[in-house]
Amino acid sequence: MNFDITSIYNNMPDFQSHSEARSWFKEQFGDRFLLRNSDEFEGERVYYYHLVKNPDVYEEYMETLSNDAGPEITSMEPFESYSTIEISEDGGISFSI
Domain boundaries, the chain: 5-96
- Give the phi and the psi of residue 90 in degrees, each rounded to 5: -85, 10
CA nearest neighbour of 85 among 44, 1, 25, 7: 25
Is residue 17 scored above 90 in pLDDT?
A: yes
Question: Residue 68 has what pLDDT?
Answer: 66
Cβ atoms within 10 A of the Cβ of 44, count? Answer: 12
Nearest 5°: the CA angle 50, 90, 18 is 40
Q: What is the pLDDT of residues 75-96, one digit of tens each?
A: 888 888 999 999 999 999 998 8
Q: What is the pLDDT of residues 56-72, one digit of tens each?
A: 999 988 888 887 666 67
Strand partners, 68: none
3-12, 50-59, 62-71: the lowest-pLDDT one: 62-71
Q: How far apart are the first and last CA of the chain?
A: 16
